[in-house]
């Protein structure tokens, strides 16, 4: 048995996991973002309520673990930013701990029990508030020891012109410190930024998509530019990794018609030809952050038992 957590800047979700078939969400609570003692206390409260001592605590976080320093890079939870989080939590909780990026956990979940089942290389793409991703090959997460593989949302690669007819796209400043990242024009906030640029109108992404589906011309122009900007970099990710399926998570994954547009655009731009959908909605039945963390936790327990 292990305890899995999915921790974002707003909410901590906890679950008791006896097997991949029995993931039992038990509690949601606000994330203490600036008080590490309170952060630890929140985790302890879930662990204490479990029936027995867990073999491992497995955590999905909205951040990255630096593979060299093992420090957490997590701007939206300042109390853990810069900490060697696994080591600190092992000491505080008195249990084995594994920590992974939430997009990596999503990719693991989709590869094992979601849309990626049966595929050797799975690239899990996140189209939520921003853009993220994780890469699984041969059933193993590439970022097993932490790292930045799969972060296709960052890097100055956004096209300077997009759409039909093409329109100039500024190199928007990104929260990572660079300019022209896909994160600035992809995801929900990116779509909204594009709509403002094109039409000088503030509109929520879900309303843009709804208007597009109803035939609104302005929304259609926004979606055209959005898909054009997104599909080129995603096609390059597919070419480089050899992924044969791209499950998508995050809020925009709920827009099935939008995913179909992205899928068609990506398949036109890659070297390998697929006669089936490549970019698809994530299919993990349990919350993928919890499921992915649990998968990594079970793998950690198995490794440690074999090495004992």
Query: How do residues 184-234 score in pLDDT, each as one tens digit?
Result: 999 999 999 999 999 999 999 999 999 999 999 999 999 999 999 999 999
Q: What is the CATH number of the domain that holds 184?
A: 3.30.420.40
β partners of residue 131: 127
Residue with tokens 């999905």: 60
Residues 124 and 200 in one domain: yes
Residues 233 and 186 in one domain: yes
239 falls within a domain: yes
Residues 91 and 182 in one domain: no
The pLDDT of residue 308: 61
Residues 143 and 70 in one domain: no
76 falls within a domain: yes
Residues 55 and 161 in one domain: no
Could you say which residues of the chain have pLDDT below 50?
none
Residues 76 and 183 in one domain: no
113 falls within a domain: no
105 in Cβ contact with 287 (< 8 Å)? no
Q: Which domain holds residue 295?
A: 2-104+286-307
Domain count, the chain: 2
The pLDDT of residue 218: 98
114 falls within a domain: no
Residues 36 and 56 in one domain: yes
112 falls within a domain: no
Residues 137 and 273 in one domain: yes
The pLDDT of residue 285: 72
Residues 183 and 259 in one domain: yes
Residues 179 and 244 in one domain: yes
pLDDT, one tens digit per residue, over 236-275 is 999 999 999 999 999 999 999 999 999 999 999 999 999 9
111 falls within a domain: no
């Amino acid at each position: 048995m292990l305890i899995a957590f999915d921790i974002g800047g707003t909410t901590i979700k906890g679950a008791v996991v006896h097997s991949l078939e029995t993931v039992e969400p038990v509690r949601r609570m606000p994330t203490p973002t600036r008080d590490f003692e309170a952060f630890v206390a929140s985790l302890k409260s879930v662990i204490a309520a479990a029936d027995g001592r867990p073999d491992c605590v497995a955590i999905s976080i909205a951040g990255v673990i630096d593979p060299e320093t093992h420090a957490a890079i997590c701007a939206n939870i300042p109390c853990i930013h810069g900490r060697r989080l696994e080591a600190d939590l092992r000491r505080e909780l008195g249990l084995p701990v594994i920590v992974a990026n939430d997009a990596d956990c999503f990719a693991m979940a989709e590869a094992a029990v979601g849309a990626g089942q049966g595929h050797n290389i799975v690239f899990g793409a996140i189209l939520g508030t921003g853009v993220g991703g994780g890469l699984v090959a041969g059933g193993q997460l590439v970022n097993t020891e932490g790292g930045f593989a799969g972060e296709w949302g960052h890097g100055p690669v956004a096209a300077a012109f997009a759409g039909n007819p093409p329109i100039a796209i500024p190199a928007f400043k990104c929260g990572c410190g660079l300019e022209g990242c896909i994160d600035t024009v992809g995801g929900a906030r990116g779509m909204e930024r594009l709509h403002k640029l094109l039409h000088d109108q503030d509109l929520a992404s879900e309303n843009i998509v709804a208007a597009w589906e109803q035939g609104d011309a302005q929304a259609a122009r926004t979606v055209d530019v959005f898909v054009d900007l997104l599909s080129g970099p995603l096609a390059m990710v597919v070419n480089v990794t050899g992924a044969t399926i791209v499950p998508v998570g995050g809020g925009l994954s709920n827009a099935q018609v939008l995913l179909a547009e992205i899928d068609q655009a990506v398949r036109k731009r890659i070297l390998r030809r697929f006669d089936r959908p490549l970019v698809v909605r994530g299919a993990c039945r349990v919350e993928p952050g919890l499921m992915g963390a649990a998968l990594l936790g079970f793998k950690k327990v198995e490794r440690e038992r074999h090495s004992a």
